[in-house]
Amino acid sequence: MSVINIQEKFKLFSDHWSPKKIGELNGQQILVAKLKGEFVFHKHDNEDELFMVIKGTLNIELRNKTITLNQGEFYVVPKGVEHKPIAKEEVHVLLFEPLSIKHTGDIIADITVETYESI
């Protein structure tokens, strides 16, 4: 294992809504992603999902409220809770998720990624 510079990892890609794997630990994967626009409402029946904002502001729309995350803040979406990330401007996020998680949960969409690229 070597030291990983998150900012350097963000410089390696430009696509949105396509998380990149930068590490693994204890059955979890550490991902970075650039987000812009709206994702789809989806849920993960068996996994919690952590969103940490590295740059920008992210809204996570739930069915009954909206969570707003600013740089340096994180939120854990509990398993089974429908959510839709929205980024009005480009947002950089760090994600912690179990290795078994599916990108768009129970929904298949045009933006669904089957396998995360490691960078």
DSSP reduced 3-state for 10:
helix
Please give the model's pTM, rounded to 2 decimal places: 0.85
Amino acid at site 84: K
Q: Say what the pLDDT of residue 97 is.
A: 84
Q: Say what the pLDDT of residue 115 is.
A: 76
Q: Say what the pLDDT of residue 116 is.
A: 76
Q: One digit per residue, pLDDT tens: the chain, 119 residues?
A: 789 999 999 999 999 999 999 999 998 899 999 999 999 899 888 888 999 999 999 999 999 999 999 999 999 999 999 999 999 999 999 998 877 665 555 656 566 566 777 89
The values of phi and psi at residue 10, to 5°, are -65, -25
The separation between the first and the last C-alpha atoms of the chain, rounded to the nearest angstrom, is: 14
Q: Say what the pLDDT of residue 114 is.
A: 63
The values of phi and psi at residue 9, to 5°, are -65, -40
Write the DSSP string, 66-106.
EEEEETT-EEEEPTT--EEEEEEEEEEEEEEEETT--TTTT
Q: Say what the pLDDT of residue 99 is.
A: 76
